[in-house]
Amino acid sequence: MEDKLSFGNKTYTSRLLLGTGKYPDNETMSEAHAASGTELVTVAIRRVDLSERSGGSLLGHLDKAGVDLLPNTAGCYSAKDAILTAQLARESLDTNIVKLEVIGDEKTLFPDNEELLVAARELVQEGFVVLPYTGDDVVLCKKLQDIGCAAVMPLGAPIGSGLGIRNPYNLRIILEQMEIPVIVDAGVGTASDAAVAMELGCDGVLMNTAVACAKKPVLMAEAMRKAVEAGRLAYKAGRINRKLYATASSPLEGVVRMDD
């Protein structure tokens, strides 16, 4: 019960964060969120009607579920646009937490590091709790931490690719350097990917496509919940060292030997 994830003044039991896009319908989305146990759900501010909160709308479903909203600046290609989008989210949703995205390349959806730093610095100064989506760049993550970001969200692989954790070694270095939470964001394809991220020591996993576009989104959401929980437990338990040769499970001392 004490092993919780915190951002700013918010604390969560679940370490699985989910998105809201690409689901077949809002009802399936709500069922998947419930099956996942998530308590924090990200919403693309530039792609949602913030004035529509009726029962059948996206925000209406999220209000009914009682989850916290994590507005994001998806679709922004400059610091200026990202800052304005975050400000709009704060006014419309009454929250100062934001998942900061500043995209630099339309094909890969990799972040623009320079613009990301500019936007992060400005938003932190304005009192936002900033969670930046970034590449698995150790130096950039350290700069974002120094600016005052509440967490860093390095990608596991390109957004929506489902390729899994492509560079676990960079993630391990980032984890060694960070004093703030590290959330793997993007690239997870199935439950084993989420478990790997957590076994490395990541504080959480954020995903959307892997659940929303699965053949059975609700079932995949349950699988992701269990994978994140299992990976966290395995990390805390501490895995055995890898060895080249076998080691007997039973001790050899005291073994009865048959004389010829």
DSSP 187-253: ---SHHHHHHHHHHT-SEEEESHHHHTSSSHHHHHHHHHHHHHHHHHHHHH-PPPP-SS---SS--T
Residue 253 to residue 48: CA distance in whole angstroms:
67
Q: Is 80 a catalytic residue?
A: no
Strands 183-185 and 204-207 come out as parallel
Answer for the pair 30, 61: CB distance below 8 angstroms, yes or no. Answer: yes
Which one of 22, 99, 107, 143 is the catalytic residue? Answer: 99
Q: How far is CA 45 from the centre of its chain?
A: 18
Answer for the pair 24, 52: CB distance below 8 angstroms, yes or no. Answer: no
Show which residues are catalytic. 99
